[in-house]
Structure 1
Amino acid sequence: MSDEVRERLAWVAVDWGSSHLRAWGLDERGEVLARGGSDKGMLALAPEDYEPALLETVGDWLPASGRVAVWICGMAGARQGWREAAYLPLPTRLEELTRGAVAPSLRDARLEVRLLPGLCQHADAAKRGFDVMRGEETQLAGLVAWEPEFSGLVCLPGTHAKWAWLEGGEVKRFATYLTGELYGLLAGQSVLRHTVADAGLVESGCREAFIGAVREAADEPGRFSQWLFGLRAADLLDDSLPAGEARRARLGARLSGLAIGLELGGVRHELASVPITLIGSEALCERYALALGALGHTSRRLDGEAAVLAGLGLARAGA
């Protein structure tokens, strides 16, 4: 980073996950001046390792004197992280995340760090189950930064997909689906590991296989396990499938459709009454948009990185 750009640096935003950290240096207007990251996520660090890991990524951005505010969301605030930022219970207004922020002890005088909390939900008579989120709440806060009184249903696809119900900028409830992890386990560690491949939906026939599987799993979730083994049987017996990697890609698309369709079946009774907003990576949100479309629902997508930065910016503005 040049001295001129370093002089413009107003604050640093960090999204610290289980396996990676991502950091951005921003000016007062929110323009990104620098980007950085590493594979030093929560799972690789002890509490005393966080400050050195952060400095490895952003140290070159810091001025020789003075202090720079660093706002962090994600797993750095977990119980096993840098310092615990306890979950805020629902309902929670997303512009108020700062009331649960904590400051870890620091050695470098140039840093002023705040760790944002996650959200938690307790089981109740309305059939809400115990649930937690840490990191996704900041993306939801980004949505509220853009649309302060947003009401509707938000889906954040990922390893652990989140569905959140917002009213007037407040999170009322949410639900987590283990869809991405389930797909990974089935594709990589089950009998299906020799049958499927994740090649996206670009191969001929993959899109149709995905859409058909979404509809089947959403309509008849009780047959999910049967359809899973059917993938293995189709690999052995279905002469209509292409050969080689194209065959594995087609069956991988069907596995993805079954997993996402099962998830959508869990929220299907609520999809028709509210607008659906997807927040996340382009590829994954496109897959969810295709799945929702197969069930007759429209959606819009907001960029996950932009939402994180807007959410951290909202927290900084409210401090």
Structure 2
Amino acid sequence: MGSTEMSETPDIAGQLTWIAVDWGSSNLRVWGLDQHDQVIAQASSDKGMLSLKADKYEAELLRLVGDWLPTTGTTKVMVCGMAGARQGWLEAAYLPVPTRLDQLSQGAVTPTLTGDQLGVYLLPGLSQTRGTATHFDVMRGEETQLAGLVADSPDFTGLACLPGTHAKWATLEAGAVSGFSTYLTGELYQLLANQSVLKHSVLSPSAAKDDLNDAACRETFISAVSDIHQAPETFSSRLFGLRAQDLLDGRLPAGDTRGAVLAARLSGLAIGLELAGACRECPSDKPITLIGNQTLSQRYTLALNAIGYQTKHVDGDTAVLAGLRLAHRALT
């Protein structure tokens, strides 16, 4: 069904000013904020876009936040993520880049509700076409994290990476997204590890998630990043070479450690290929900002350091809340 977690703040209804929502494909997260934009309550559920029909969104939201609401008036709700997708609650059309991140709320849409307790604003994603770039691309949800990055630095200029199943790389110029690219690195790794011939050699992704805590795995990962970054055209060949190494290399350890080392190499090859494209024209004297969870950001930091780049890290949850705050302020 779902879970609810709230900070120990009495009289939430008396302090609640607005609600922030991150509605993903698989999960829903909500935060109640006061007049100072401080979180006073939070809740979550597993009712993401993939498990809801359009007419069920309002009820699910009220199930989580109903106890927070004052008895009178309408509480504003800022929503980012897949609720605004075509298959979601109500489509919030993509804004074409270049787009200023402090103006996302201008593209928000408001679904029709059965009651007047909530005033919901679904934020748009961003799109890119061949008319403005070399390729088509879209993002939905990540733009709000990028908005969080510029919330305290309105004129931020630089390159930001949001690692994940579909990693996003965005170029920001004076607080606007001028272009971006998506890499299916996380999904590619999962497919190769679980469904290709490599599944006989590498430890499963769930079992190998802490592989970089091991010195041998970490060294193997870094070596793979460097190898493929220098010769990205050899990616497919090196993938099969990983299987051959398992069959022929007597220096590899036995058991799960063997699978973990080979999984680290697969991860390094996949991320290294991504970096070969994403960093092709990126100056190495400027740090790349990573937005996401600590574990994945550490992996990307290792990879980027290996090819000569420095990084900064912004927590993903911190960024999405900051982006929703920025959108809320723009509407008030």
TM beyond 0.5 = yes
Query: Is the 1:42–1:75 contact (alpha carbons within 8 Å) kept by the matching residues of 2?
Result: yes
Alignment of 1:24-173 (within 5 A): 24-124=31-131, 127-173=133-179
Aligned residue type for 1:79: R
Segments of 5+ residues of structure 1 without an aligned counterpart are none
Matched, 1:199 2:205: no
The match for 1:10 among 9, 17, 26 is 17
- Deviation track 1:26-53 (CA, whole Å, cap 9, x = no partner) reads 1122221122111111111110111122
Aligned residue type for 2:141: G
Q: Which whole-Å CA distance do the structure 2 matches of 1:199 and 1:84 have between them? A: 35
Query: Is the 2:100–2:176 contact (alpha carbons within 8 Å) kept by the matching residues of 1?
Result: yes
Q: Which whole-Å CA distance do the structure 2 matches of 1:187 and 1:257 have between them? A: 13
Alignment of 1:169-248 (within 5 A): 169-197=175-203, 198-200=208-210, 201-248=212-259
Aligned residue type for 2:209: A
Shift in CA distance, 108/246, structure 1 to aligned 2, threshold 3 Å: farther
Query: Is the 1:69–1:113 contact (alpha carbons within 8 Å) kept by the matching residues of 2?
Result: yes
Q: Which whole-Å CA distance do the structure 2 matches of 1:243 and 1:58 have between them? A: 51
Q: Which whole-Å CA distance do the structure 1 matches of 2:156 and 2:65 have between them? A: 34
Q: Which whole-Å CA distance do the structure 1 matches of 2:254 and 2:72 have between them? A: 63
Q: Which whole-Å CA distance do the structure 2 matches of 1:70 and 1:221 have between them? A: 45
Aligned residue type for 2:287: P
Counting matched residue pairs gives 318
Query: Is the 2:25–2:82 contact (alpha carbons within 8 Å) kept by the matching residues of 1?
Result: yes
Who is 1:316 aligned against?
328
Q: Which whole-Å CA distance do the structure 1 matches of 2:25 and 2:265 have between them? A: 29
Who is 1:285 aligned against?
297
Displacement of 1:229 in angstroms is: 1.3
Displacement of 1:127 in angstroms is: 5.0
Q: Which whole-Å CA distance do the structure 2 matches of 1:90 and 1:204 have between them? A: 42
Shift in CA distance, 3/109, structure 1 to aligned 2, threshold 3 Å: farther
Q: Which whole-Å CA distance do the structure 2 matches of 1:263 and 1:228 have between them? A: 15
- Deviation track 1:117-159 (CA, whole Å, cap 9, x = no partner) reads 00001114x7521100100000111111111100011111111
Who is 1:299 aligned against?
311
Q: Which whole-Å CA distance do the structure 2 matches of 1:176 and 1:199 have between them? A: 22
Query: Is the 1:88–1:119 contact (alpha carbons within 8 Å) kept by the matching residues of 2?
Result: yes
User: Please, what is the CA RMSD of the aligned residues?
Assistant: 1.4
Q: Which whole-Å CA distance do the structure 2 matches of 1:88 and 1:80 have between them? A: 17
Q: Which whole-Å CA distance do the structure 1 matches of 2:213 and 2:252 have between them? A: 16
Matched, 1:255 2:266: yes
Query: Is the 1:14–1:22 contact (alpha carbons within 8 Å) kept by the matching residues of 2?
Result: yes
Q: Which whole-Å CA distance do the structure 2 matches of 1:145 and 1:90 have between them? A: 18
- Deviation track 1:194-232 (CA, whole Å, cap 9, x = no partner) reads 321223211230100110110111111111111111222
- Following TM superposition, where does structure 1 have runs of at least 4 consecutive aligned residues deviating by more than 3 angstroms? none
Higher mean Cα deviation, 254-263 or 216-225? 216-225
- Deviation track 1:72-104 (CA, whole Å, cap 9, x = no partner) reads 001100111100000001110111111100001
Displacement of 1:59 in angstroms is: 2.1
Query: Is the 1:94–1:140 contact (alpha carbons within 8 Å) kept by the matching residues of 2?
Result: yes
TM-score relative to the length of structure 1: 0.96
The match for 1:272 among 283, 291, 304 is 283
Query: Is the 2:133–2:179 contact (alpha carbons within 8 Å) kept by the matching residues of 1?
Result: no
Higher mean Cα deviation, 288-297 or 63-72? 63-72
% identity of equivalent residues = 60
Q: Which whole-Å CA distance do the structure 2 matches of 1:73 and 1:271 have between them? A: 29
